[in-house]
Amino acid sequence: MSDFAELQQRLGYQFRDETLLRLALTHPSVAHESGKEIQHNQRLEFLGDAVLGLILSRALYEKFSEAEEGPLTKSRAKLVNRKTLAEHARSLNLGAHLVLSHGEENSGGRERASALADAFEALLGAIFLDGGFDAAREFILREFQNDFAALAEISGIDNPKGELQELLQVKSPNAPEYKILSASGPDHDRNFECAVFHDGAELARGSGKSKKAAESDAALAALKKLRGG
């Protein structure tokens, strides 16, 4: 088995009970192959998933105080999808430390995204049990700081065209109209500019890589303008 001291140094967390770390890295295939009741990481994965969801939910709630439930939920989903979790596992080189069956080892289990994502969540569960909520929170926020930086803004508006229409209907029964003003760039990288009008007056303009995206951007700009944002 790989050296846990080196791994814990990379994690920035020292386990008081290293059996928890070993359990977090033990793939279910070990029990399946042996036919014995050997403990593996699925229970810790279950716990880690809940811990991760709670900590990231609170962080998003605090960072984006104006965002509604829908955009917050979508942002959390981006942070905890299996691909993202596997990337975190790879950055920590968890694959090299996994305890696998011979069959899983021979079939490339150390690089399998599902195994890596599961091990990462199990690791979070192990840290939570070993060091408590604060230790898990510190580790998770450190691990996800770059992911949070990529979420520079959550508009708080899940359907800008729908919300704009609802806002305008208070004053007039007429729906807003969208007009594509220009399209530029090569076929594989087009950029569209769109204007949104209401009762003959232009409200705002937007742009995007598709006509639909440009219309949504124009609607969002119109909402911000009308609401004084």
Q: Which helix (H) or strand (E) holds 179?
A: strand 177-184
C-alpha dist (Å) from residue 142 to 52, 111, 145, 147, 222: 12, 23, 5, 10, 37
Q: Which of 121, 130, 143, 217 is an active site residue? A: 121
65 three-state secondary structure: coil
> Is-catalytic flag, 62?
no
CB count within 10 Å of CB 97 equals 22
Distance CA 116, CA 129 (A): 20
Cβ(15)–Cβ(8) below 8 Å: yes
Cα(109)–Cα(113) distance, integer angstroms = 8
Q: Are 31 and 116 in contact (CB under 8 A)?
A: no
Based on the residue annotation, tell me whether 121 is a catalytic residue of this protein: yes
Question: In this structure, what token pair is assigned to residue 204?
Answer: 């705002």
Q: Which residues belong to the active site?
A: 49, 121
